[in-house]
A and B are shown apart, each in its own frame.
Chain A
């Protein structure tokens, strides 16, 4: 192992963009052959929407997560290097963390692995957050709305994106494997570099690239490995599959990904400033990055919460009749009015919503669709959707709207046997609980970046009797 202190180079292996998205074993082996100092993966994203945080469910498959983790844990233990997972289970709330830790334990038992495990939850106490909201410490992220006490109360799960500091502390405490709740995406990659005193700007910028694994290569892939080599005044990134390359444009372009301002990337405790960053082609497949700076700011934490808005039922149908298609808006309005009139006496109007989506016209872009009034499609895909206070009400609304539309008369109707083509029997589906993002705000006034993220250390397997001096970090 090349781990003499002080290190002038740290190699970080990022196997995959999201734990569970997979990676080729050959790429992973090529990464291990480079003698990495740490294997780290970001398991999370808010992109799949509010359901997964609200319901406490992962958006990746358990078997796929276990497959990825098994390869990572085996390699980490064989080489005695740390394995770090951030935003466990996708959203990093308690149920997501518990699920990931359970998988880690299963693998340890199956593989006979022993290690010091650090588990770092990211759940935020509701009452503490209400107090913060009351004193104005929970501030909006424009164009997001102001924080309200009702939204905090309504949230089923509340998490904070931890910075690298709790992960650094866990490494300093000798953790071999870290499973962290919701974390700032680059944090799992920046933790070991920060422990060894590498430049924070370079470490976090490298983390920003590694968190998406080989997406910053060409051809890009979220399911393939990337190696980062961090030195004191620059870093290198290279993909590990021979058919991929990093180019100046592919790496620079990645800086834009999912960010609103490519020059200033805010995070907990600072803003990553890329105004002086340089990108240079090191060799055919490797890009050298220098000049990224961390500008220290008062420490803040991004808080995420999701709240229930009811239950959804959908029905999917197609329309091929040109007369129906030509009049589709008035037909849908008539059906909507018929549904409302039918249940006016029995269902409270605010207890349900009925939506129609028209694929082939503006199903993807809605009112932003420039062609919505120009093109006339020969067929339309129709989704009838209800979101209601109960699944039963959603079922009622969709069922009635579907039957109404199927047989609704309209001027010039020729196809009098039915207006809709259903691909399935049954025609209606439960989409289950529906959530919304209820909190997406900054918690200000953080004095100690670790205080809200208690680290729980434990020995897994036979490690308890084998821990030797000098083996930490």
Chain B
């Protein structure tokens, strides 16, 4: 078994607002083979994402695989609306970092 981190296989891992109430996370794997392995690993489950971000599972609004870009998109409910008093990231552009170290196991060839 080999441990693979998302940052090892994805060329782009980013976060951004999708409107004032949602935060959307994109993981663009690039290599279709690794993209399929990531999907099969089920590491990007609502429970795992909720635990990673310290939020309720019901606030993980969707996890969608987008084959044309070999990408996975995760949408979360923002804890606070963009720019609300107490919000720390108005654009939502720096909420991706916990994903970088997220890892899954693959069988060695």
Contacts and interface: CB of A to CB of B under 8 A. Distances in A.
Contacts of A365: 88-89, 94-95, 97-98
Contacts of B1: none
Nearest to A365: B95
B61 A248 contact: no
Contacts of A437: 20, 81-84
Contacts of A262: 64, 66, 69, 71, 73
B5 interface: no
Nearest to B30: A249
B75 A370 contact: no
Interface string B49-91: 0001111000101101010111101010101011111101111
B34 interface: no
A259 B12 contact: no
A364 B94 contact: yes
A440 B69 contact: no
B18 interface: yes
Contact of A260 (B22, B53, B82): B22
Interface string A428-464: 0000001111001000000000000000000000000
B79 A253 contact: no
A436 B81 contact: yes
Interface string B9-28: 00010001111111010101
A64 interface: no
Contact of B83 (A49, A143, A248, A252): A49
B66 A255 contact: yes
Contacts of A249: 28, 30, 69-70
A150 interface: no
Contact of B82 (A50, A143, A257, A263): A50
Contacts of A364: 88-89, 94-95
A309 interface: yes
Contacts of B64: 261-263
Which of B53, B75, B85, B97 has the most chain A CB within a 10 Å cutoff?
Answer: B85
A435 B94 CA distance: 22
A193 to B, nearest CB: 22
A256 interface: yes
B90 A255 contact: no
A144 interface: yes
B85 A436 contact: yes
A364 B26 CA distance: 18
Contacts of B85: 309, 353, 355, 387, 434, 436
B88 A255 contact: no
A355 B84 CA distance: 12
Contacts of B19: 46, 141, 144, 260, 440
B61 A260 contact: yes
Interface string A362-382: 011111111000000000000
Contacts of A387: 85
Given A255-B68, A256-B26, A437-B20, A355 B86 contact: yes
A50 B83 contact: yes
A260 B95 contact: no
Contacts of B79: 366-368
Contacts of A368: 53-55, 79, 95, 98
Contact of B90 (A47, A260, A367, A369): A47
A196 interface: no
Contacts of A367: 54, 79
B82 A255 contact: no
A141 B81 CA distance: 13
B21 A141 contact: yes
B7 to A, nearest CB: 15
B55 to A, nearest CB: 7
Interface in A252-277: 252-253, 255-263, 277
A20 B94 CA distance: 24
Contact of B68 (A47, A252, A259, A363): A252
A212 to B, nearest CB: 12
Contacts of A434: 85
A365 B68 CA distance: 31
Given A277-B68, A279-B68, A436-B81, A253 B28 contact: yes
Nearest to B22: A260
Contacts of A255: 66, 68-69
Interface string A224-258: 00000000000000000000000011001101111
Nearest to B67: A252
Nearest to A51: B83
Contact of A436 (B53, B71, B84, B95): B84
Contacts of A355: 85-86
A442 to B, nearest CB: 11
Contacts of A50: 20, 82-83
Given A252-B66, A365-B97, 4 more contacts: A51-B83, A263-B64, A437-B83, A440-B20
Interface of A: 46-51, 141, 143-144, 248-249, 252-253, 255-263, 277-279, 309, 353, 355, 357, 363-370, 387, 434-437, 440
Name the 6 nearest CB pairs between A and B, nearest first. Answer: A49-B83, A252-B69, A252-B68, A253-B69, A49-B90, A260-B75
10 contacts: A46-B82, A47-B90, A249-B70, A256-B71, A262-B64, A262-B71, A364-B88, A368-B79, A436-B84, A436-B85
